[in-house]
Protein backbone atom coordinates (compact mmCIF):
# COMPACT_ATOMS: atom_id res chain seq x y z
CA UNK A 1 0.00 0.00 0.00
CA UNK A 2 1.71 3.14 -1.14
CA UNK A 3 -0.96 5.75 -0.61
CA UNK A 4 -0.72 8.41 2.07
CA UNK A 5 3.03 8.00 2.15
CA UNK A 6 3.34 9.40 -1.36
CA UNK A 7 0.80 12.21 -1.63
CA UNK A 8 1.48 11.51 -5.29
CA UNK A 9 1.70 14.82 -7.04
CA UNK A 10 -1.19 15.05 -9.45
CA UNK A 11 -0.67 14.22 -13.12
CA UNK A 12 -0.45 17.36 -15.25
CA UNK A 13 -0.58 18.10 -18.95
CA UNK A 14 3.20 18.34 -18.88
CA UNK A 15 3.42 14.77 -17.59
CA UNK A 16 1.07 13.55 -20.26
CA UNK A 17 2.97 15.49 -22.89
CA UNK A 18 6.22 13.91 -21.86
CA UNK A 19 4.72 10.43 -21.90
CA UNK A 20 3.22 11.01 -25.34
CA UNK A 21 6.42 12.68 -26.56
CA UNK A 22 4.71 15.85 -27.70
CA UNK A 23 4.90 19.44 -26.53
CA UNK A 24 2.92 20.68 -23.57
CA UNK A 25 0.92 22.92 -25.90
CA UNK A 26 -0.17 20.02 -28.05
CA UNK A 27 -1.11 17.82 -25.13
CA UNK A 28 -3.07 20.74 -23.69
CA UNK A 29 -4.92 21.13 -26.98
CA UNK A 30 -5.99 17.52 -26.96
CA UNK A 31 -6.87 17.39 -23.29
CA UNK A 32 -8.57 20.77 -23.31
CA UNK A 33 -10.46 20.01 -26.50
CA UNK A 34 -9.48 23.18 -28.35
CA UNK A 35 -7.31 24.06 -31.31
CA UNK A 36 -6.38 21.61 -34.03
CA UNK A 37 -4.45 18.39 -33.59
CA UNK A 38 -3.95 15.48 -35.96
CA UNK A 39 -5.82 12.27 -35.29
CA UNK A 40 -2.64 10.30 -34.77
CA UNK A 41 -1.31 12.62 -32.10
CA UNK A 42 -4.70 12.93 -30.49
CA UNK A 43 -4.80 9.18 -30.00
CA UNK A 44 -1.31 9.08 -28.63
CA UNK A 45 -2.05 11.80 -26.11
CA UNK A 46 -5.35 10.27 -25.09
CA UNK A 47 -3.66 6.93 -24.53
CA UNK A 48 -0.98 8.51 -22.39
CA UNK A 49 -3.60 10.43 -20.42
CA UNK A 50 -5.59 7.28 -19.79
CA UNK A 51 -2.50 5.36 -18.73
CA UNK A 52 -1.52 8.08 -16.28
CA UNK A 53 -5.11 8.64 -15.13
CA UNK A 54 -4.87 12.31 -15.92
CA UNK A 55 -7.58 14.52 -14.40
CA UNK A 56 -7.57 18.18 -15.38
CA UNK A 57 -7.03 20.72 -12.64
CA UNK A 58 -10.14 22.82 -12.95
CA UNK A 59 -8.63 25.42 -10.68
CA UNK A 60 -5.83 26.12 -13.11
CA UNK A 61 -8.25 26.01 -15.97
CA UNK A 62 -10.53 28.52 -14.32
CA UNK A 63 -7.65 30.78 -13.61
CA UNK A 64 -6.58 31.10 -17.17
CA UNK A 65 -10.02 31.18 -18.72
CA UNK A 66 -11.48 33.44 -16.05
CA UNK A 67 -14.55 31.24 -15.85
CA UNK A 68 -15.13 28.82 -13.01
CA UNK A 69 -18.30 27.16 -14.22
CA UNK A 70 -19.71 27.59 -10.75
CA UNK A 71 -22.66 29.60 -9.64
CA UNK A 72 -22.89 30.57 -6.01
CA UNK A 73 -26.11 30.42 -4.04
CA UNK A 74 -26.59 32.07 -0.68
CA UNK A 75 -29.75 30.88 1.04
CA UNK A 76 -31.28 31.52 4.43
CA UNK A 77 -31.39 27.94 5.63
CA UNK A 78 -31.01 24.81 3.49
CA UNK A 79 -32.89 22.80 6.04
CA UNK A 80 -35.99 24.80 5.28
CA UNK A 81 -37.97 22.95 2.63
CA UNK A 82 -38.52 26.24 0.84
CA UNK A 83 -34.84 26.62 0.18
CA UNK A 84 -34.01 23.01 -0.52
CA UNK A 85 -36.68 22.94 -3.19
CA UNK A 86 -35.42 26.20 -4.61
CA UNK A 87 -31.88 24.86 -4.63
CA UNK A 88 -33.05 21.89 -6.62
CA UNK A 89 -34.63 24.18 -9.15
CA UNK A 90 -31.47 26.22 -9.39
CA UNK A 91 -29.28 23.13 -9.62
CA UNK A 92 -31.37 21.67 -12.39
CA UNK A 93 -31.17 24.87 -14.42
CA UNK A 94 -27.45 25.03 -13.74
CA UNK A 95 -26.71 21.46 -14.71
CA UNK A 96 -28.60 21.90 -17.96
CA UNK A 97 -26.28 24.76 -18.85
CA UNK A 98 -23.15 22.99 -17.68
CA UNK A 99 -22.73 24.90 -14.47
CA UNK A 100 -22.21 23.66 -10.97
CA UNK A 101 -23.62 25.06 -7.81
CA UNK A 102 -21.95 25.93 -4.57
CA UNK A 103 -24.26 26.61 -1.67
CA UNK A 104 -23.69 28.77 1.37
CA UNK A 105 -25.99 29.26 4.32
CA UNK A 106 -26.56 32.68 5.80
CA UNK A 107 -28.81 31.57 8.63
CA UNK A 108 -30.74 34.72 7.68
CA UNK A 109 -28.01 36.77 9.28
CA UNK A 110 -26.57 39.75 7.54
CA UNK A 111 -22.98 39.24 8.64
CA UNK A 112 -22.95 35.61 7.61
CA UNK A 113 -24.46 36.65 4.31
CA UNK A 114 -21.78 39.23 3.73
CA UNK A 115 -18.95 36.84 4.38
CA UNK A 116 -20.60 34.15 2.27
CA UNK A 117 -20.86 36.60 -0.62
CA UNK A 118 -17.25 37.66 -0.18
CA UNK A 119 -16.12 34.10 -0.09
CA UNK A 120 -17.97 33.15 -3.24
CA UNK A 121 -16.69 36.20 -5.08
CA UNK A 122 -13.24 35.16 -3.93
CA UNK A 123 -13.81 31.72 -5.42
CA UNK A 124 -14.56 33.57 -8.64
CA UNK A 125 -18.01 32.14 -9.16
CA UNK A 126 -19.46 33.08 -12.53
CA UNK A 127 -22.63 34.38 -10.95
CA UNK A 128 -24.48 34.68 -7.68
CA UNK A 129 -28.01 34.03 -6.46
CA UNK A 130 -28.68 35.58 -3.09
CA UNK A 131 -31.63 35.52 -0.74
CA UNK A 132 -30.93 38.79 1.02
CA UNK A 133 -31.53 38.52 4.74
CA UNK A 134 -32.44 42.20 4.88
CA UNK A 135 -33.61 44.36 2.04
CA UNK A 136 -32.32 47.55 3.65
CA UNK A 137 -28.64 46.74 3.70
CA UNK A 138 -27.01 45.99 0.42
CA UNK A 139 -23.55 47.50 0.21
CA UNK A 140 -22.08 44.06 -0.19
CA UNK A 141 -24.45 43.34 -3.06
CA UNK A 142 -23.58 46.62 -4.69
CA UNK A 143 -20.01 45.49 -4.52
CA UNK A 144 -20.89 42.26 -6.30
CA UNK A 145 -22.18 44.29 -9.20
CA UNK A 146 -19.16 46.53 -9.24
CA UNK A 147 -16.98 43.44 -9.36
CA UNK A 148 -18.81 42.59 -12.57
CA UNK A 149 -20.33 39.39 -11.23
CA UNK A 150 -23.90 38.74 -12.40
CA UNK A 151 -26.36 38.70 -9.54
CA UNK A 152 -29.95 37.56 -9.16
CA UNK A 153 -31.93 38.09 -5.99
CA UNK A 154 -34.16 35.32 -4.83
CA UNK A 155 -37.46 35.46 -2.97
CA UNK A 156 -36.90 39.06 -1.91
CA UNK A 157 -36.43 42.15 -4.01
CA UNK A 158 -34.42 45.30 -3.40
CA UNK A 159 -35.78 48.00 -5.71
CA UNK A 160 -32.88 50.32 -4.92
CA UNK A 161 -30.57 47.74 -6.41
CA UNK A 162 -30.67 47.72 -10.17
CA UNK A 163 -30.66 43.96 -10.46
CA UNK A 164 -32.91 41.04 -11.43
CA UNK A 165 -35.05 39.47 -8.75
CA UNK A 166 -37.17 36.34 -8.81
CA UNK A 167 -39.87 36.35 -6.17
CA UNK A 168 -43.24 34.90 -5.51
CA UNK A 169 -46.24 37.05 -6.11
CA UNK A 170 -46.41 37.67 -2.41
CA UNK A 171 -48.88 40.51 -2.29
CA UNK A 172 -51.39 38.74 -4.50
CA UNK A 173 -50.91 35.51 -2.61
CA UNK A 174 -51.66 37.22 0.68
CA UNK A 175 -54.61 39.01 -0.85
CA UNK A 176 -56.06 35.80 -2.22
CA UNK A 177 -55.63 33.95 1.04
CA UNK A 178 -57.07 36.80 3.09
CA UNK A 179 -60.03 37.27 0.76
CA UNK A 180 -60.70 33.58 0.95
CA UNK A 181 -60.76 33.72 4.73
CA UNK A 182 -63.09 36.70 4.67
CA UNK A 183 -65.23 34.92 2.13
CA UNK A 184 -65.55 32.06 4.60
CA UNK A 185 -66.95 34.49 7.11
CA UNK A 186 -63.87 35.26 9.16
CA UNK A 187 -63.64 38.78 10.51
CA UNK A 188 -60.65 38.68 12.82
CA UNK A 189 -57.55 37.38 11.03
CA UNK A 190 -53.96 37.24 12.20
CA UNK A 191 -50.74 37.05 10.21
CA UNK A 192 -47.84 35.30 11.94
CA UNK A 193 -44.25 35.42 10.75
CA UNK A 194 -40.85 34.29 12.02
CA UNK A 195 -39.24 37.63 11.23
CA UNK A 196 -37.26 39.05 14.09
CA UNK A 197 -39.38 41.68 15.75
CA UNK A 198 -36.65 44.26 16.10
CA UNK A 199 -37.65 47.31 18.06
CA UNK A 200 -40.53 45.31 19.50
CA UNK A 201 -43.68 45.00 17.51
CA UNK A 202 -44.82 46.51 14.32
CA UNK A 203 -44.90 50.27 14.17
CA UNK A 204 -44.61 50.57 10.46
CA UNK A 205 -45.13 48.00 7.76
CA UNK A 206 -42.69 49.73 5.50
CA UNK A 207 -40.01 48.96 8.05
CA UNK A 208 -40.18 45.22 7.56
CA UNK A 209 -36.78 44.43 6.15
CA UNK A 210 -37.83 41.35 4.23
CA UNK A 211 -39.70 42.37 1.12
CA UNK A 212 -41.56 39.08 0.78
CA UNK A 213 -42.95 39.34 4.27
CA UNK A 214 -43.58 43.04 3.86
CA UNK A 215 -45.58 42.56 0.71
CA UNK A 216 -47.60 39.78 2.20
CA UNK A 217 -48.39 41.89 5.21
CA UNK A 218 -49.29 44.78 2.93
CA UNK A 219 -51.63 42.55 0.96
CA UNK A 220 -53.11 41.16 4.13
CA UNK A 221 -53.67 44.58 5.65
CA UNK A 222 -55.05 46.06 2.45
CA UNK A 223 -57.75 43.42 2.23
CA UNK A 224 -58.73 43.88 5.84
CA UNK A 225 -58.84 47.64 5.40
CA UNK A 226 -60.81 47.33 2.21
CA UNK A 227 -63.28 45.09 4.00
CA UNK A 228 -63.68 47.76 6.64
CA UNK A 229 -62.29 45.59 9.42
CA UNK A 230 -60.81 47.53 12.32
CA UNK A 231 -57.22 47.77 13.36
CA UNK A 232 -55.64 45.27 10.99
CA UNK A 233 -52.09 45.91 12.19
CA UNK A 234 -53.01 44.66 15.61
CA UNK A 235 -53.18 41.18 14.17
CA UNK A 236 -49.78 41.09 12.54
CA UNK A 237 -47.36 39.24 14.79
CA UNK A 238 -43.67 38.67 14.23
CA UNK A 239 -41.09 36.71 16.17
CA UNK A 240 -42.36 33.13 15.81
CA UNK A 241 -38.77 31.99 15.43
CA UNK A 242 -39.01 28.74 17.33
CA UNK A 243 -41.58 26.52 18.98
CA UNK A 244 -41.46 28.28 22.32
CA UNK A 245 -41.74 31.76 20.83
CA UNK A 246 -44.55 30.58 18.62
CA UNK A 247 -46.41 29.06 21.54
CA UNK A 248 -46.29 32.38 23.33
CA UNK A 249 -47.26 34.37 20.25
CA UNK A 250 -50.25 32.12 19.69
CA UNK A 251 -51.25 32.07 23.32
CA UNK A 252 -51.17 35.86 23.48
CA UNK A 253 -53.08 36.16 20.25
CA UNK A 254 -55.83 33.79 21.28
CA UNK A 255 -56.27 35.22 24.74
CA UNK A 256 -57.03 38.61 23.24
CA UNK A 257 -60.50 39.87 23.99
CA UNK A 258 -61.10 39.90 20.27
CA UNK A 259 -59.17 36.77 19.41
CA UNK A 260 -58.68 35.97 15.74
CA UNK A 261 -60.60 33.08 14.26
CA UNK A 262 -58.09 32.42 11.51
CA UNK A 263 -54.29 32.46 11.26
CA UNK A 264 -52.11 32.98 8.24
CA UNK A 265 -48.64 31.46 8.58
CA UNK A 266 -45.82 33.20 6.74
CA UNK A 267 -43.98 30.01 5.86
CA UNK A 268 -44.24 26.27 6.34
CA UNK A 269 -41.98 26.25 9.39
CA UNK A 270 -44.13 28.81 11.14
CA UNK A 271 -47.17 26.93 9.94
CA UNK A 272 -45.92 23.71 11.49
CA UNK A 273 -45.15 25.46 14.74
CA UNK A 274 -48.58 27.03 14.82
CA UNK A 275 -50.14 23.68 14.15
CA UNK A 276 -48.25 22.18 17.06
CA UNK A 277 -49.11 25.13 19.30
CA UNK A 278 -52.79 24.74 18.59
CA UNK A 279 -52.53 21.03 19.11
CA UNK A 280 -50.86 21.47 22.46
CA UNK A 281 -53.47 23.99 23.49
CA UNK A 282 -56.05 21.35 22.72
CA UNK A 283 -57.64 23.47 20.02
CA UNK A 284 -59.12 21.82 17.01
CA UNK A 285 -58.59 22.97 13.44
CA UNK A 286 -60.73 24.31 11.91
CA UNK A 287 -63.46 24.12 14.53
CA UNK A 288 -61.75 26.34 17.07
CA UNK A 289 -59.25 28.12 14.84
CA UNK A 290 -58.73 28.15 11.10
CA UNK A 291 -55.34 28.38 9.47
CA UNK A 292 -53.60 28.77 6.13
CA UNK A 293 -49.89 28.21 5.61
CA UNK A 294 -47.56 29.28 2.90
CA UNK A 295 -45.70 26.53 1.00
CA UNK A 296 -46.94 23.10 0.03
CA UNK A 297 -44.77 21.29 2.55
CA UNK A 298 -44.91 17.55 3.15
CA UNK A 299 -46.61 17.78 6.47
CA UNK A 300 -49.47 19.95 5.25
CA UNK A 301 -51.38 17.20 3.62
CA UNK A 302 -51.08 14.42 6.10
CA UNK A 303 -52.52 16.29 9.02
CA UNK A 304 -56.13 16.04 10.09
CA UNK A 305 -57.51 18.16 8.63
CA UNK A 306 -55.08 18.72 5.75
CA UNK A 307 -53.90 22.31 5.69
CA UNK A 308 -55.10 24.84 3.15
CA UNK A 309 -51.96 26.35 1.70
CA UNK A 310 -50.58 28.94 -0.65
CA UNK A 311 -48.56 26.98 -3.18
CA UNK A 312 -45.52 29.08 -3.98
CA UNK A 313 -44.17 26.92 -6.77
CA UNK A 314 -40.72 27.23 -5.34
CA UNK A 315 -39.12 24.79 -7.71
CA UNK A 316 -40.16 26.98 -10.62
CA UNK A 317 -38.88 30.03 -8.79
CA UNK A 318 -35.51 28.38 -8.33
CA UNK A 319 -35.35 27.21 -11.88
CA UNK A 320 -36.27 30.63 -13.18
CA UNK A 321 -33.63 32.29 -11.04
CA UNK A 322 -31.04 29.84 -12.30
CA UNK A 323 -32.00 30.40 -15.90
CA UNK A 324 -32.00 34.14 -15.48
CA UNK A 325 -28.57 34.13 -13.92
CA UNK A 326 -27.18 31.95 -16.65
CA UNK A 327 -28.60 34.27 -19.28
CA UNK A 328 -26.79 37.12 -17.52
CA UNK A 329 -23.56 35.16 -17.36
CA UNK A 330 -23.82 34.52 -21.05
CA UNK A 331 -24.41 38.20 -21.60
CA UNK A 332 -27.84 37.80 -23.12
CA UNK A 333 -29.15 41.33 -23.44
CA UNK A 334 -32.11 41.63 -21.12
CA UNK A 335 -33.72 44.45 -19.24
CA UNK A 336 -33.38 44.28 -15.48
CA UNK A 337 -36.62 42.83 -14.23
CA UNK A 338 -38.46 41.64 -11.24
CA UNK A 339 -39.88 38.25 -12.14
CA UNK A 340 -42.89 37.25 -10.13
CA UNK A 341 -43.97 33.63 -10.00
CA UNK A 342 -47.66 33.46 -9.42
CA UNK A 343 -49.01 31.42 -6.55
CA UNK A 344 -51.98 29.17 -6.09
CA UNK A 345 -54.34 28.88 -3.19
CA UNK A 346 -54.87 25.18 -2.54
CA UNK A 347 -58.01 24.74 -0.50
CA UNK A 348 -57.93 21.75 1.79
CA UNK A 349 -59.58 21.42 5.15
CA UNK A 350 -58.10 23.82 7.65
CA UNK A 351 -60.51 26.73 7.19
CA UNK A 352 -63.99 26.72 8.68
CA UNK A 353 -66.95 28.55 7.25
CA UNK A 354 -68.46 30.70 9.95
CA UNK A 355 -71.40 33.02 10.35
CA UNK A 356 -74.19 32.65 7.89
Partner DNA sequence: ATATGTCGTGAGACCGGTCTCTTTATATCG
Partner DNA sequence: CGATATAAAGAGACCGGTCTCACGACATAT
Contacts (CB under 8 A) with a copy of itself, residues 292-351: 297-299, 301-304, 331
Among DNA, a copy of itself, none, partner that 198 touches (CB below 5 to 8 angstroms by kind): none
Binds a copy of itself by CB under 8 A, chosen from 225, 231, 242, 279: 279
> Pick from 297, 310, 275: which is nearest to 79 by CA?
297
Measured from the CB of residue 67, what is the shortest distance to DNA in angstroms?
Answer: 9
Closest separation in Å from C-beta 302 to a copy of itself:
5
Q: Which of 34, 204, 257, 302 binds DNA (CB under 7 A)?
A: 34
Member of 21, 123, 207, 251 binding a copy of itself (CB under 8 A) = 123
Residues in 214-243 that interact with DNA by CB under 7 A: none
- In the region spanning residues 211 to 270, those forming contacts with a copy of itself, defined by CB under 8 A, are none
* Least Cβ distance, residue 99 to a copy of itself (angstroms): 11
Q: Which is nearer to a copy of itself, 73 or 213 (CB)?
A: 73
- Indicate the pairing of strand 164-168 with strand 338-341: parallel
Among positions 38-57, residues that touch DNA (CB under 7 A) are 38, 40-41, 54, 56-57
Residue 181 near residue 191 (C-beta atoms within 8 A): no
- In the list DNA, a copy of itself, none, the entry touching 38 (Cβ below 5 to 8 angstroms by class) is DNA
For a copy of itself, which is the closer residue by CB, 231 or 279? 279
Cβ closer to DNA: 56 or 349? 56
Nearest approach in angstroms of CB 39 to DNA is: 8
To the nearest whole angstrom, how small is the minimum distance from the Cβ of residue 23 to a copy of itself? 22
Instruction: List beta partners, residue 264.
Output: 191, 292
Comparison of 122 and 228: residue with beta carbon closer to a copy of itself: 122
User: Could you say whether residue 4 binds a copy of itself (CB under 8 A)?
Assistant: yes
CB 293 within 8 A of CB 309: yes
**3-state per-residue secondary structure call for the chain:** CCCCCCCCCCCCHHHHHHHHCCCHHHHHHHHHCCCCCCHHHHHHHHHHHHHHCCCCCHHHHHHHHCCCCEEEEEECCCCCHHHHHHHHHHHHHHHHCCCEEEEEECCCCHHHHHHHHHHHHHCCCCEEEECCCCCCCCHHHHHHHHCCCCEEEECCCCCCCCCEEEEECHHHHHHHHHHHHHHCCCCCEEEECCCCCCCCCCCCHHHCCCHHHHHHHHHHHHHHHHCCCCCHHHHEECCCCCHHHHHHHHHHHHCCCCCCCEEEECCHHHHHHHHHHHHHCCCCCCCCCEEEEECCCHHHHCCCCCCEEEECCHHHHHHHHHHHHHHHHCCCCCCCCEEEECCEEECCCCCCCCCC
Q: What is the largest CA-CA distance in the chain?
A: 90
Nearer to DNA, 38 or 231 (CB): 38
Residues in the chain, total: 356
Among 47, 50, 51, 60, binds DNA (CB under 7 A): 60
Among 12, 26, 91, 290, the residue binding a copy of itself under the rule CB under 8 A is 91
User: 71, 124 in Cβ contact below 8 A?
Assistant: no
- Does 24 help bind DNA (rule: CB under 7 A)? yes
Partner in contact with 240, chosen from a copy of itself, DNA, none, beta carbon below 5 to 8 Å by kind: none
**Residues found near DNA in the complex (CB under 7 A):** 9-14, 22-26, 28-29, 31-32, 34-38, 40-41, 54, 56-57, 60-61, 63-65
**Residues found near a copy of itself in the complex (CB under 8 A):** 1, 3-4, 6-8, 10, 53, 55-60, 62-63, 68, 70, 78-79, 81, 84-85, 87-88, 91, 100-105, 118-119, 121-124, 143, 145-148, 162, 272, 275-276, 279, 297-299, 301-304, 331
Amino acid sequence: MEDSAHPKRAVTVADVAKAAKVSKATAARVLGGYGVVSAKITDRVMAAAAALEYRPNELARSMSTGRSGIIGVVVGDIENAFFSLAVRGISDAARLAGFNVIIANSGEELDAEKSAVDLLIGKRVDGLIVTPARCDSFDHLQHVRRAGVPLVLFDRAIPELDVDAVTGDDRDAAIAATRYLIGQGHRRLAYVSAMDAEGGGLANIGRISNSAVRERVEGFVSVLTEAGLPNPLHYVRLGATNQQQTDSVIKRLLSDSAAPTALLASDSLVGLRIFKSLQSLGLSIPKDVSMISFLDADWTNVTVPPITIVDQRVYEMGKLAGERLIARIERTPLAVERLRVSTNLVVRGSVATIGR
